[in-house]
Amino acid sequence: MKRVLSGIQPSGQLHIGNYFGMMKTMIANMESSDLFVFIVDLHALTTVHDRERLRQGTLEAAADFIALGLDPDRCTFWVQSDVPEVCELMWVLSTLTPMGLLERCHSYKDKVAKGISPSHGLFAYPVLMAADILLYQADVVPVGKDQKQHLEVARDIAIKFNNTYGETFVVPEPAISTETAIVPGLDGQKMSKSYGNTIPIFLDDKPLRKKVMSIQTDATPVEDPKDPDKCNLFALLKLFAPEDKLKEVHDLYVNGGAAYGYIKQDLFELIRDHFADARARKKELLANQDYLREVLAKGANKAREKATVTLELVRDRIGLRY
């Protein structure tokens, strides 16, 4: 059985880009894989410097996953920082990672261009991501298109380590859904907390509708034909609408008659209904935070069992056992 691993940052409210880009896939993998899912709070420190926001965000991310259908008893589900072995492995991998490899990573440049402080942690983010993956000997890592380069870095580091010290790490493979590789945000860019263009999964009706109504569209008159493939509103509708509804709207785009306001109202109702049960479940979970902490502690113990085996092998390989 293949080991599938991925994580998500608790740096803000999880949004529909997170859901379709990673969470939905990971939850589906419970049936057919050895599933490892974690909340990457150490990564979040590159952008979140508010103690309460990070603490609460971690618990909310746990509640989000469980509310959406993740069963902690059928996978390994934990918080990144609860397995300190990952930090030691990151340092070991850092000593082999060429600077040029990190300098070529476009995500760092993109985030700095968006106003995120250019810290060493942000620059070295791909090495910590590599440690996350290699520590648990993951076979497959579902990633968004924007994270594909970071997974390639993890593969390069694993191969270099194996060539230097002998076969130690599984070289992971990416799993990228071409349909949901990039979910557009309110402005048409990739939906991202860093860009402030998200539609959070668990908003109540009024703020959810306000978000959907703020999706940017062009000024083409209702009666004129439009290209649905160039419209971020239609791209979002495709994620939720049943086939018959999607065909109806597609025909309105192509032939004329697509009124953005009505389509946005339809999208709002589809999103609201899609997550209705999960929204109620999340409220129940957040009312019992001790349960969430118990689940995460149990998951961390399971994760450390695997992590310590890998790290002991690494220490032996590089000569830290004498």
Task: Enumerate the domain spans of the chain.
Answer: 3-183+289-318, 203-274
List Cβ neighbours of 259 (8 Å cut-off, separation of 6 or more). 222, 252
Cα separations in angstroms, 165 against 17, 99, 182, 299: 39, 20, 37, 30
Report the CATH superfamily, name and number, of domain 3-183+289-318: HUPs (3.40.50.620)
Average pLDDT, integer, range 240-248: 95
DSSP symbols for 12-26 = S--BHHHIIIIIHHH
Percent of the chain clearing pLDDT 70 (strictly above): 98
Cα separations in angstroms, 35 against 7, 75, 315: 11, 5, 26
Q: Which of 9-13, 63-67, 68-72, 73-77 has the lowest mean pLDDT?
A: 9-13
For residue 180, pLDDT over 70 is answered with: no
For residue 158, pLDDT over 70 is answered with: yes
pLDDT at residue 31 in the model: 85
Whether the CB-CB separation of 10 and 44 falls below 8 Å is answered with yes
Strand order through the sheet with 3-8: 76-79, 34-39, 3-8, 140-142, 173-175
Q: Which of 95-99, 112-116, 206-210, 235-239 has the lowest mean pLDDT?
A: 112-116
Q: Which two tokens stand for residue 205?
A: 């009706």
**pLDDT tens for residues 12-29?**
888 999 898 888 888 988
Rounded-to-integer distance, Cα 186 and Cα 198, Å: 6
Rounded-to-integer distance, Cα 309 and Cα 303, Å: 10
Rounded-to-integer distance, Cα 50 and Cα 68, Å: 26
The residue written with tokens 């086939």 in the block is 243
Active-site positions read 111, 190, 193
For residue 82, pLDDT over 80 is answered with: yes
Average pLDDT, integer, range 40-45: 95
Q: Which residues pair with 272 in a beta bridge?
A: none
Average pLDDT, integer, range 241-247: 95
DSSP-derived letter for residue 184 is B
pLDDT band at 123 (very low <50, low <70, confident <90, very high): very high
pLDDT band at 181 (very low <50, low <70, confident <90, very high): low
For residue 81, pLDDT over 80 is answered with: yes
Three-state DSSP class for 35? strand
pLDDT band at 178 (very low <50, low <70, confident <90, very high): low
Q: What is the CATH number of domain 203-274?
A: 1.10.240.10
For residue 140, pLDDT over 60 is answered with: yes
pTM score of the predicted model: 0.89
How many residues can be counted in the chain?
Answer: 322
Rounded-to-integer distance, Cα 102 and Cα 120, Å: 11
